Amino acid sequence: MQQPWLLARPEVDLDRVRRHATEHFGLGGEYRELGSQQDRNYLVSAESGAGALLKIHHPVVTGEIVSLQAAVAERYRDAGLATPALLRTSDGDISVPITLPDGREAQMCAFALVDGSTLADLEAVDGAAAEHLGGFVGRAVDALRNLDHPSADREIQWELTLAPRVVAELLHELPGDRRDACLAAARRAAAHLEALDDLPRQIIHGDLTADNIMRDSSGVSWIIDLGDVAQSWRIAELAVLVADIMGRTGDLTIACRAVRGFSQQVAEAGFALTDDELDALWPLVVLRGAVLAVSGWSQLRIDPANDYARERIEHEWQVFSRTAGLAHDDVVAQLRLAAGRAHRRGLEYAPILTEQRSARVIDLGIRSADLDRGRWTSPSIETDLAREALAAAPVAVMRFGESRLTRVSTDVSAPAPTKARCVDLWSRPGVSVHAPFSGVLTRVGEIIELTDGGVTLRFDGLEADAAGIDVPDQGRPVSSGAVIGRIAERVPGLGRLRMLRRAMGAAPDPAFGAAGDEYAVAGAADPSPILGVPACPDPILRLREERRRRDRAMGGAAERYYAEPPQIERGWGAILIDTEGRAYLDMVNNVTAIGHAHPRLADAVGRQLHLLNTNSRFLYEAYADFTERLLAHAPDPTLDTVIPVNSGSEAVDLAIRLAQAATGRRDVIAALEGYHGWTMAADSVSTSAYDNPSALDSRPDWVHLVDAPNAYRGPHRGAGAGAAYARQVADRAAQLAEAGHGPAAFICEPVLGNAGGVIPPEGYLAGAYAAVREHGGLAIADEVQVGYGRLGAAFWGSEMQGVVPDIIAVAKAAGNAYPIGAVITRRDIVDALRRDGMFFSSAAGAPASAVAGATVIDVIVDEGLQENALLVGAVFAERIEELAARHPLIGAVHGSGLYRGIELVRDRESLEPAVEETAWICERLLDFGVIVQPASERQNVLKVKPPMTFGLRDVDVFVAAFEAVLTELGKRERRSLGEGFEEAL
């Protein structure tokens, strides 16, 4: 008999293919052949345009089958699932026949290219990825429901209802030592299938694996290769994915996550897998493995030159071998639980506690409102919350899979075990506990286990004796619903029953896992379906979606930290916490001056939002509360006027405008390498090469640049550097005056924030200010980064330098990341602006912003944060200097107080910037729980500007982590930094 499944790739005449493709699809250009089992695929790089994928189908694929594929593609698109567009011929057709050298006719199609990579190339499959894929496949199945097509009944080797026949007929192709195992497993699987008759049929893709799903640069997943589309069993679509995951990971727990994702997705779509489908799933997985195994070898025999088939052969055998050995009944029990069903057909779990149905879920997640105001740091918080919940309900539940904020450690050095692998049921002590299913009860030390087949439920906090139950070592059978003990008292008046599930005899998991451990990778066995309580969605799934969501919405120009950023959803003091319950020490947040989630600020702003938040033209108290407080901190009584704005960029912009209005001039002298903001004027005086590499070529004619006063690595160093840099300002001002348009202003950060806290050399600002004033200009201090007490020694950078500016720009710290900034200046200068019109910015100084601004200043004063910055900053610098004695990479510690820059150099003489090392250190420090970023023009300075609540313990944590990372770096050869280093970033 002719076996319809033995299809070698057709021989083609490439010249002819090219001519045909050019004529019908307009696809000239270069052709590169891509791998395929039985078709010919070419990547065509077009002479002009986007290029395409050209496919010469095997001759068995008729035009009707191409139309079936097109119908499927359309359904996918209608359901919001991307799939490459079929290009049309000049006659508007989706395929065109081509005659092959052997006289047969084949269909030629062309597809638009997808700019992305297959999931198989992009990422290893972990539990979250598997769950996501399962959901995706669920959507694909749903998209094709009720689709009819006359050509959908296809006899192809991949159509799984035919698998037993395909395996039997191709078995001889396998190497001899593999045949028996393959045949036996396929027969067993086929026997299981024979007993099932409720297997819904529909058209499916038939090959939805990580090889056939691509992800593009904006995070969109694409379904490719519709070559195996056919009418089949619906469940076969999931079986193909599960087989693929087993082949890649060999981990049934991960495969179960795909089943979970699929089941949840189809439930949302309004249908559920039938019991027969759940029974059929595993046999189909095994059969898929067997088909892959036999077909790989047969393909090689009929098409020995097919490298694509050759390369895949061992992987395909692995799919089979990793599935065939597992005990059918035990696996089905796990798959059923993953699908949210009882582990046996027809089984209904008895409630463990009689009053369980009215249980209340306690939210211990990172964003839980019950844990605000630092409540999560209390050691007794879980029992406190349980007690509160039990005042309102007989039973309280803490969920499986939740990253519990209550277990986040403020010691950031290693991830704490926060992820619950257990379910906790809280209740009064002494309450009877019932067996949820019939099984065997055994005692393992303090723990009692109930086992049925491959399913084991472990109880911690269960007293069997108290209910008169004897649990012998060899176990005793119990039936579903029987009392198996009582809940032990955990703390006075409170009992806690903790339950974990063990799958198929696996070793018990600890009750909590840490981010990044094998549980995070797989996702341990979840007891929730047995207990009838909800599980917590996996935060890793959410995190990945969040990364894609952000990329989709923001495009490429928006900056963000880290290649693979954690999802930070809570802060506290100088600590940031991600959704997996990992805490980090925040070293970069000068915006959050008074620390994260400061209750006083949250209360004040929250209260104001309840009262009023409106545009700032109304009269209300908060406006003056803020501006008066700011003026109270002004560095000189001559600075007597404040205009609130929304951001640092606006503050600088307004400062420049004020100077221009007051002097009636345009020209501004600015120091190089600075960053002052993104608005037109602020950007014009910004030349930081990191922020804008071509800044120097594009400054407007009113901007005049002088060297950054950096006595560490600039042109002037050592004694006299301050005067030398100031002379540049003086010379420039004089030139401008001579040319008949003297300077309106000189702008500079009083401490060079962008350079990493470099303090200008002695006498610089005094000299520069005097020079610009001599020529009728004004001095602008951009204190957006360094002002507000952070420098410790003074509230303002200019104060530290012994100068009084004419205009000060502030923001960042001013609102603790609430959008408020200000310009502080003299009345006469503001009056000059009035001549040009009034100043108004809707939300600048609006009630809530102004309250934020006033509260921040109060907190800085009341909590002595400037003093803290002075003290802790000095210790910090000392400790880094100590490290520098041992680590030559540390070239200098710049700055003052808690505005510091650790400059890293490859050589202390040449000062060659250690750029790659700095980037690597920042990424690596994240693993140590420390968030720090590179700064400066050269990106070789670690910027250290933590919340001003940063304490001595935090210094210890940073120094220990930094030292460990420096030591690790020292062990790497310089050469290895140059190579493989880039990829490591």
**Range in contact with ligand PMP (rule: CB under 6 A) among 42-50, 648-656, 897-905, 970-978:** 648-656
Q: Which of 69, 298, 528, 647 binds ligand PMP (CB under 6 A)?
A: 647
Cβ-based nearer residue to ligand PMP, 415 or 895 = 895
d(CA 236, CA 205): 9
Nearest partner of 674 among 665, 661, 684, judged by Cα: 684
Cβ-based nearer residue to ligand PMP, 336 or 676 = 676
Cβ-based nearer residue to ligand PMP, 192 or 812 = 812
Supply the DSSP symbol for 752. B
Taking the complex as a whole, the smallest distance from the CB of residue 690 to ligand PMP amounts, in Å, to 11
The interface with ligand PMP within residues 809-828 (CB under 6 A) comprises 811-812
Q: Is 464 helix (H, G, I), strand (E, B) or coil?
A: coil
Structure tokens that stand for 651 in this block:
């503050």
d(CA 71, CA 144): 9
Q: Do residues 757 and 751 make contact, with C-beta atoms less than 8 angstroms apart?
A: yes
Cβ-based nearer residue to ligand PMP, 784 or 803 = 784
Cβ-based nearer residue to ligand PMP, 485 or 677 = 677
**Range in contact with ligand PMP (rule: CB under 6 A) among 307-315, 550-558, 644-652, 703-711:** 644-652
Type of residue found at 136:
F
Taking the complex as a whole, the smallest distance from the CB of residue 679 to ligand PMP amounts, in Å, to 8
Burial 253-271 (b: 16+ CB within 10 A, else e): bbbbbbbbbbbbbbeeeee
Taking the complex as a whole, the smallest distance from the CB of residue 786 to ligand PMP amounts, in Å, to 8
Cβ-based nearer residue to ligand PMP, 427 or 649 = 649
Taking the complex as a whole, the smallest distance from the CB of residue 750 to ligand PMP amounts, in Å, to 10
Q: Which residues are bridge partners to 213 per DSSP? A: 223
Q: How many residues bind ligand PMP (CB under 6 A)?
A: 14
Taking the complex as a whole, the smallest distance from the CB of residue 785 to ligand PMP amounts, in Å, to 4
Taking the complex as a whole, the smallest distance from the CB of residue 819 to ligand PMP amounts, in Å, to 8
Residue 295 binds ligand PMP (CB under 6 A) = no
Residue 826 CB contacts under 8 Å (≥ 6 apart), including other chains: 638, 639, 640, 641, 806
Cβ-based nearer residue to ligand PMP, 497 or 654 = 654
The interface with ligand PMP within residues 514-553 (CB under 6 A) comprises none
The interface with ligand PMP within residues 657-686 (CB under 6 A) comprises 675-677
Q: What number of other Cβ atoms are within 10 A of residue 666's Cβ? A: 17
d(CA 258, CA 265): 11
Taking CB positions, which residue lies at the least distance from ligand PMP?
648
Q: Which of 649, 918, 936, 949 binds ligand PMP (CB under 6 A)?
A: 649
Taking the complex as a whole, the smallest distance from the CB of residue 815 to ligand PMP amounts, in Å, to 10
d(CA 358, CA 397): 10
Cβ-based nearer residue to ligand PMP, 9 or 812 = 812
Q: Do residues 509 and 500 make contact, with C-beta atoms less than 8 angstroms apart?
A: yes
Q: Which of 652, 730, 810, 830 binds ligand PMP (CB under 6 A)?
A: 652
d(CA 497, CA 458): 10
Q: Do residues 772 and 746 make contact, with C-beta atoms less than 8 angstroms apart?
A: yes
Q: Where are the beta strands (DSSP E) in 552-603?
A: 568-572, 575-578, 583-586
Taking the complex as a whole, the smallest distance from the CB of residue 838 to ligand PMP amounts, in Å, to 23
Taking the complex as a whole, the smallest distance from the CB of residue 525 to ligand PMP amounts, in Å, to 48
Cβ-based nearer residue to ligand PMP, 728 or 754 = 754
Taking the complex as a whole, the smallest distance from the CB of residue 652 to ligand PMP amounts, in Å, to 5
Nearest partner of 663 among 750, 597, 595, 742, judged by Cα: 742
The interface with ligand PMP within residues 714-773 (CB under 6 A) comprises 749, 753
d(CA 471, CA 448): 8
Cβ-based nearer residue to ligand PMP, 502 or 812 = 812
Cβ-based nearer residue to ligand PMP, 812 or 906 = 812
Q: Is 708 helix (H, G, I), strand (E, B) or coil?
A: coil
The count of C-alpha atoms lying within 13 angstroms of the C-alpha of 539, restricted to the half-sphere facing its C-beta, is: 27
Taking the complex as a whole, the smallest distance from the CB of residue 896 to ligand PMP amounts, in Å, to 16
Taking the complex as a whole, the smallest distance from the CB of residue 945 to ligand PMP amounts, in Å, to 10
Nearest partner of 521 among 927, 124, 926, judged by Cα: 124
Q: Which of 10, 523, 648, 901 binds ligand PMP (CB under 6 A)?
A: 648
d(CA 421, CA 525): 8
In the chain, what are the helix, strand and coil shares in percent, each to the nearest 5?
40, 20, 40
d(CA 401, CA 17): 55
d(CA 841, CA 174): 77
Taking the complex as a whole, the smallest distance from the CB of residue 932 to ligand PMP amounts, in Å, to 16
Taking the complex as a whole, the smallest distance from the CB of residue 373 to ligand PMP amounts, in Å, to 28
The count of C-alpha atoms lying within 13 angstroms of the C-alpha of 134, restricted to the half-sphere facing its C-beta, is: 30
x/- track of binding to ligand PMP for residues 456-475 (CB under 6 A): --------------------
Cβ-based nearer residue to ligand PMP, 306 or 933 = 933
Q: Which of 73, 160, 784, 904 binds ligand PMP (CB under 6 A)?
A: 784
Cβ-based nearer residue to ligand PMP, 227 or 677 = 677
Cβ-based nearer residue to ligand PMP, 677 or 714 = 677
**Range in contact with ligand PMP (rule: CB under 6 A) among 185-193, 412-420, 778-786, 938-946:** 778-786
Q: Do residues 309 and 299 make contact, with C-beta atoms less than 8 angstroms apart?
A: yes
Instruction: Give the rounded distance of the alpha carbon of 580 from its chain centre.
Output: 11
Q: Where are the beta strands (DSSP E) in 70-229?
A: 96-99, 105-112, 116-118, 201-204, 213-216, 221-223
Taking the complex as a whole, the smallest distance from the CB of residue 801 to ligand PMP amounts, in Å, to 15
Look-up of token digits 């350079």: 755
Q: What number of other Cβ atoms are within 10 A of residue 470's Cβ? A: 9
Q: Which of 237, 782, 917, 954 binds ligand PMP (CB under 6 A)?
A: 782
Cβ-based nearer residue to ligand PMP, 749 or 799 = 749
Q: Do residues 810 and 787 make contact, with C-beta atoms less than 8 angstroms apart?
A: yes
**Contacts to ligand PMP by CB under 6 A:** 647-649, 652, 675-677, 749, 753, 782, 784-785, 811-812
